[in-house]
Amino acid sequence: MLSPKKVKFRKQQKNRIKGMALRGSSVVFGDIGLKALEPGKLTNQQIESARIAMMRHIKRGGKVWIRVFPDKPITAKPAETRQGKGKGAPVGWCAPIRRGRVLYEIKGVSLELASEALRRASYKLPIKTSIVFREA
Amino acid sequence: MSNQSTLSVHSRTETGTGQCRRLRDKASIPGVFYNAQGANLLFSAERTPLQKLFNKVGLSQVFQLEISQDGEVQQHPAIIRDIQFHPVKGAITHVDFFGVDLTKKINVYIPVEVTGKPKGVVLGGILEIFRDELEVVGLPMSIPEKIVIDVTSLEINHNVHVQDLKLPESVELVFDDNFAVVGVVSPSASDSESEEKEAEAAE
């Protein structure tokens, strides 16, 4: 699964996701892509799960680009622990997504096949998405 | 290659974020027109005709721009130099028009279109398009809409290189190395299958 090789700090503040994606909001590598319509955090499991759903539908041929990377650590406290005693331990990674961000792109297969693959991938994600095509 | 498309726009004096936002609310798109002689004119265009024009001419074809200013109408041959879209809705939010001199050459990128089913694909190869668009230089009116490549005779591990492409006489391709534009790769060379196996293994 996707995760950073090395980070400077083990834990980060949660932060809020505001505004729209001013970069990475258009399809540039493939012919068709999946765009986020609302903000959210995608975990590396969700990103991988959606990728597998796509690859299984495409079967052979074609190329898939993952346009997001989970580089933000998620922390959690163990079960049945009292509050306090500091921030929890890192348990995973996520990618903060602003609305408008292109998450996946596909090229090299028919648009119908790619569209269906992206639709299947969208069910694995916790945010609303839409299928978009390359401009011009 | 046609000069048939025409777009009428109105010059504007309002500038800035707020004014442009109010224009967009009224289904107008703010834009700027400039040329090599130093002209620089702000305008607003109707959204629907602009969208239709963009779908037709793209970023490489010349069209006739009519700018009405103080009751006068100026006509300029122009191309769409840059276009901006809303990140979520995909609607046009701003446009740049570049006034071209029909006697001087310009550099533009034009899309590549592939036709036919390659022999190599019938034998199990995979068609790969390495370049979606190519830079060309030529007179504005002779620049083709797209470069059509017939790949019917292409076999496995064979490529169509940029030097092999034929264009109209007054148009030239811009390149340093003779790179491949389209090719048929053998299925073993494609890494997509190995990725699939990897995905299965991961599960």
Please indicate, yes or no, whether the overall pTM of this predicted structure exceeds 0.80: yes
Predicted confidence (pLDDT) at residue A83 exceeds the cutoff of 70: yes
> Among all residues of chain A, which has the CA nearest to that of B202?
A1
User: Between these two residues, B8 and B2, which has the higher pLDDT value?
Assistant: B8
Would you call A18 an interface residue with chain B, using a CB distance cutoff of 8 Å?
Answer: no
Question: Which band of pLDDT confidence, cut at 50, 70 and 90, is reported for residue A85?
Answer: very high
B192–A132 CB contact, under 8 Å:
no
Task: Provide the token pair at B101.
Answer: 């001199």
What local confidence, expressed as pLDDT, does residue B119 receive? 87
- Which of left, alpha, beta for A115 (phi over 0: left; psi -120 to 50: alpha)? alpha
What local confidence, expressed as pLDDT, does residue A14 receive? 93
Question: Which band of pLDDT confidence, cut at 50, 70 and 90, is reported for residue A136?
Answer: low
Q: Cα(B83)–Cα(B25) distance, rounded to whole angstroms?
A: 18
User: Tens digit of pLDDT for each residue in A13-60?
Assistant: 999 999 999 999 999 999 999 999 999 999 999 999 999 999 999 987
Would you call A51 an interface residue with chain B, using a CB distance cutoff of 8 Å?
Answer: yes
C-alpha closest to that of B23 among B75, B98, B110, B91? B91
User: Tens digit of pLDDT for each residue in B77-99?
Assistant: 999 999 999 999 989 999 999 99
Task: Provide the token pair at B194.
Answer: 């190995």
> Among all residues of chain B, which has the CA nearest to that of A36?
B88
Predicted confidence (pLDDT) at residue B194 exceeds the cutoff of 90: no
Q: Cα(B163)–Cα(B179) distance, rounded to whole angstroms?
A: 8
For chain A, what is the mean pLDDT?
94
Map residue A73 onto helix, strand or coil: strand
In this predicted complex, what is the ipTM?
0.84
Which residues of chain A lie closer than 8 angstroms to B54, CB-CB?
A: 136
Q: Cα(B183)–Cα(B130) distance, rounded to whole angstroms?
A: 8
